[in-house]
Chain A
Amino acid sequence: MKGINILKLISILSFLLFTAFHPLPVNPSGYNAAIVLKVIQDVKHKKPTTDWLQTKPATQLETADQLRTGDKSIAVVRFVDGSSLRVRENTTITIFADKKDRGLIKNTKIDVGKMRFDVEKQQDEDEFIITTPTAVATIRGTSGFVNVDENGQTLLVVETGIVDVRALVGAQQAGTVEAGNSSFINREGNVQINPSTEQEKNEARNTLRTNEKYLQIQTPQGTFRIYYLDFE
């Protein structure tokens, strides 16, 4: 009887020791990649195997999860390293996070729409990637804005830092976009890099408007509210 108890104890201890020192599984299917910080109006998310669900603040996004914003809707998503995405209206993204030996690879695929990125300085082994139908951009400690049109063509506006960009189609040109510059990647795989226009800069700045405010109008017919987006 006593021998059985000792055997039980050894088994429990062995299990505890094993689970304590075993590393996280590589690319686990349920790995929490990001969290939704803010939702304005109509935002939905889904897993590869589920239907679209209404997104609420604090929703956790796992790798391969998709997020979709509707008309005049916005979602603010934050990654585990503090980097954030401000997903503008009518935009669909898919989030991937892959934990390699020492680093964390974060890849956001944007099919169509607009999105602002504020990426924290990445550790040596870490990577922050944005993928569009026509390009892939590698980002390290950078802020800017990406706009993917209905044809998959990509406009990348870099406010601070540097982004390496490479076309995924056609000529597969590549380039480095520095702060104050924009890059346009077309369906032929050409990468054009030019100083950002005022319109592009304004659009990038405008993507910081993620604070919902309102004006109240009292009339004899009732009270109306005009909700608008303001800067944080």
Chain B
Amino acid sequence: MKILTIFSMVFISISLLSAQPSIKLIVFPELTTADFASFATLEDLQGAPRIFCAEINAPNQTVVMKGIIEWKKIGSPDYVLIAWFITRPFLSRTLCNDDIGKVDVRIYDHYANTNLIEENIRYGKPTGEYRLTVELYDSTSQNLLSSDSRNLVFLNPSQTLTIINPRANQTYDAGNILVEWTPISGASEYYIKASERNDPNQSLEEALQRGTPLVNDRNVGIITSINLRDILERELRPGSEVVLQVSANVPGPAGGKKIFSEIVNFSILNPESQYYQQLVARFNNVMNRIGQNEFGQMFQSGQIDPTKIQIRKEDGTIMTFEELINFLEMNANNIIRITKE
């Protein structure tokens, strides 16, 4: 009899334990970085690729699920909240992220940090560490029944679209701005967007979106460099500041994805400015230090216009006129000859 009582108690305990509502997060291991990026930066969860499923075990119970997405930037010690959502009450069942928003599982409320989302979009791929958390609540008492979370680390992101030229905070001649960027594997075309930044207090993003448009998301094909002048919709103003972004379209099954470069800002050389006059004077000085040569003579006699020259290093990277002057000033004693090809 005693044995029977003990057995019954153990059985009841196990039954009670198994009836305890639980939620278990399953993140698909074959998840690609691009898929996750499109999910993590998506405000509308419907239509996102299937990223995770929440296995809910609370038979015949009406529950509410909260999902939280956090992000820890590379080099940052803390997670920051990117987005959260709370569902309306639903009869417990296993559901996946692409089920949310459908008939039986409606979103009750949600939040998205648009700045962080934009930052993620700018990176063009997931970088750093993402944390997905799901919490299961009783729909009537609002008590937390169970929770689970998973960390996803993207330390070695796959593809980065980097603008090689123009470089941030440099000054370029209006006629010689070569836009160059790194290729993205699988890209079908690249787009360039450029605007004039009218207010230095404007963020680069704001300036790109709201500044005076110079190039409006122009499809330039599959090339990786182009002279900005060739695609300008408006003339560049001497002395103005320009923001520019390149994006790549990579076709895929769900409509493909867009990879964005960082936004670079640079200035347009103004030949009327004191700054420009100073550059010319510095260049003449350094040419005198280097010694007589045809290039220096043609420059000093006005035959060579510094706003119409293009300077490249041996590896092909572009230098601005100011960078050339800085280099020559630093290396005047190391210049061995100047030749005309």
Residues of A with Cβ closer than 8 Å to B?
A: 40-41, 72-73, 206, 209, 212-230
Contacts and interface: CB of A to CB of B under 8 A. Distances in A.
7 contacts: A216-B311, A216-B312, A218-B309, A224-B295, A224-B339, A224-B340, A225-B338
Contact of B336 (A206, A212, A215, A219): A212
A217 B319 CA distance: 10
B79 interface: no
Contacts of A218: 309-312
Interface of B: 294-295, 298, 303-305, 308-314, 319, 324, 327-328, 331, 333-341
A41 B311 CA distance: 24
A65 B308 CA distance: 50
B304 A219 contact: yes
Interface SS of chain B: helix, strand, loop or mixed? mixed
Contacts of A216: 311-314, 341
B159 to A, nearest CB: 31
Contacts of A214: 314
B339 A225 contact: yes
Nearest to A214: B314
A226 B335 contact: yes
B336 A229 contact: yes
Contacts of B304: 219, 221
A220 B304 CA distance: 8
* Most central of A206, A217, A223 by chain B CB within 10 Å: A217
Contacts of B295: 217, 224, 226
Q: Which of B304, B310, B333, B337 has most A Cβ within 10 Å?
A: B337
A199 to B, nearest CB: 13
B331 A228 contact: yes
A148 to B, nearest CB: 19
B330 to A, nearest CB: 10
A228 B329 CA distance: 12
Nearest to B176: A218
B309 A219 contact: yes
B107 to A, nearest CB: 58
Closest 3 pairs between A and B when the two form their complex, measured CB to CB: A72-B336, A229-B334, A223-B341
A212 B312 CA distance: 16
Contacts of B334: 206, 209, 228-230
B83 to A, nearest CB: 49
Contacts of B303: 221
A217 B294 CA distance: 13
Contacts of B339: 224-225, 227
B337 A41 contact: yes
A224 B338 contact: yes
Contact of B337 (A72, A209, A215, A217): A72
Q: Which of A212, A224, A230 has the most chain B CB within a 10 Å cutoff? A: A224
A220 B319 CA distance: 17
A222 B305 CA distance: 12
B341 A222 contact: yes
Contacts of A224: 294-295, 338-341
A212 B331 CA distance: 13
Contacts of B319: 215
